[in-house]
Amino acid sequence: MSFRLIDWAAFAGLVFAIYLINRRSNRKLPPSPKGLPLLGNVLQMPKRNGWLLMHEWSKALGPIFHLNMAGQPVIVLNSNEAALELLERRSHIYSDRPRLIMTGEIMSQNLVVGFQRFGEQWKRFRKAAHAGINIRAAEAYYGIMERESALLVQEFHRDPKSWDDHLQRVIASSLFTALYGGEPMLNKNDPIVDQINDCMHRLTGAALPGAFLVDVFPILKRLPDWLYKPKGEGYQWYKKDNAMFNDWIDRVKKDMDGGSPPPSFGRVLLEAQKQFQLEDFEVPWLAGSMFGAGSDATAGSMRWFMLAATLFPDKIKRAQDEIDLVVGRSRLPTFDDRESMPYLRAFCREVMRWRTVAPLGVPHRLIQDDHYMGYHIPAGSIVLANIYSINRSPEAFSDAEEFIPDRFLNEEGTFEVLHPETHNQGHYTFGFGRRACAGMHIANNLLFINAATILWAFNIRKAKDAQGNEITPSATNYHDTGLIVRPHLWEVEIIPRSPEVLDMARERFAKGVNG
């Protein structure tokens, strides 16, 4: 009798297992490039510029496909329609982040807002960030950015060959002053620039798939530091960066104790710390991670702007004509001029769309099972928005490979026409849903005022070789530093548009933030 019961139990278990297998097999995943058994597509992914390969795959596989990364499903979205439906309209289940052990848990102790899991800590951080740098709050930093752009003119004038160093300085200095107060960094070799760049390159580099074994085999985190050395090194980097961020926020506290602190994001956080329910150890990292992410990405966007200025002289001439009409030649541009410069605004939007500084953004993670276009998307899937492809979606952008600022303007070129589901940006570079970049308004302000000031002050020309032939830089020679992608450096001629440019820039800088 017992034997028969065991037989029946085994038979029932076998039937149930077959049922589960069949049921699972009937769940149709999005298409996938052919991979290897067990490993799937792991060996097909390059260490750098994987978004380009994904873009090519999307041409054959469609707007949504999946990769099998040794059993981990990765869903890749390649059209604006797919990204808007999943990451925007269903953001309540697509706003998590994958577990990032090295960069998130070890190197930053889950204190970098961009890498945080979807939960109460992230919600507190996000609310505080929005309060300090939303579109209205960002206006408090206009004077800082205008003064910094005047210093940039002096640097370009004195040493045009180091133009990229000057761009990195002006972005880092503008952000640092907006976030922490204080005076501009007057030197391109200011150690703060190197410190924050090193920090963000470490963190973003550690976030790349396969960068550290502990992200593939989490059990390694339990090993002692001496046995798994990257773990110990990661904790040492955390201590170093933690000390750096605390030192910066202490500057704000000192200014506040003095009774007349300048406007800054750090001041907003400290004054409303209880309101935002931020712990003492969280405030320095929220400010620091906003500084790091913004500095790296916005400096990258400025390099793309310089490439566009080098490659498209006819479009630059049109932007300069607009600037001259609005500003004239007796002063530098200001934010008060922005509404009267629709073409320059469109030019900056096209820079962001044409060459996306973060082509894959930061991965999302699906919280629960979902379905889209007849496909099953399992819970726990990593979801990548291939923003490079999405910014080329044919239904949103015609002639997407071409650089066309007019795509954001009406036929008369007098006002902007923007896709309604782009957070009023016109492109998708700042991401989607609840995970859209909190610092987008600061980034836009920096790009606009520095682009306007550079074009007001200088002509940008292709450099020439020894034979007098123009040297045309490549638009597809990418430099991948983790999440951020920039063009490789090139030689360019930067020529003052009038003899008075330098004196006017010096005069504007001397007037200070309220000048």
Residues constituting the chain: 515
DSSP state for residue 190 in the 8-state scheme: -
38: left (phi over 0), alpha (psi -120 to 50) or beta: left
Amino acid of residue 197: N
CA dist 364 and 75 (Å) reads 10
Angle between helices 342-354 and 440-457 (to 10 degrees): 120
Across 188-221, b (16+ Cβ under 10 Å) vs e yields: beeebbebbbebbbbbbbbbbbebbebbeeeebe
CA dist 481 and 49 (Å) reads 10
User: Taken in order 391, 348, 430, 427, is the CA torsion positive or negative?
Assistant: negative
CA dist 40 and 70 (Å) reads 6
486 pairs with which residues across the strands? 479
In degrees and rounded to multiples of 5, residue 280 shows phi and psi of: -60, -35
- Alpha-carbon distances, residue 496 vs 286, 457, 493 (angstroms): 40, 6, 10
The verdict on whether residue 199 carries a ligand-binding annotation is no
Instruction: Tell me the two tokens of residue 438.
Output: 């909190």
Neighbours of 363 (CB within 10 A): 21
Q: Which helix (H) or strand (E) holds 315?
A: helix 313-327
Please name the residues in contact with 137: beta carbons below 8 A apart, sequence gap of 6 or more: 131, 268
Binding residue numbers for heme: 437
Annotated binding site: 437
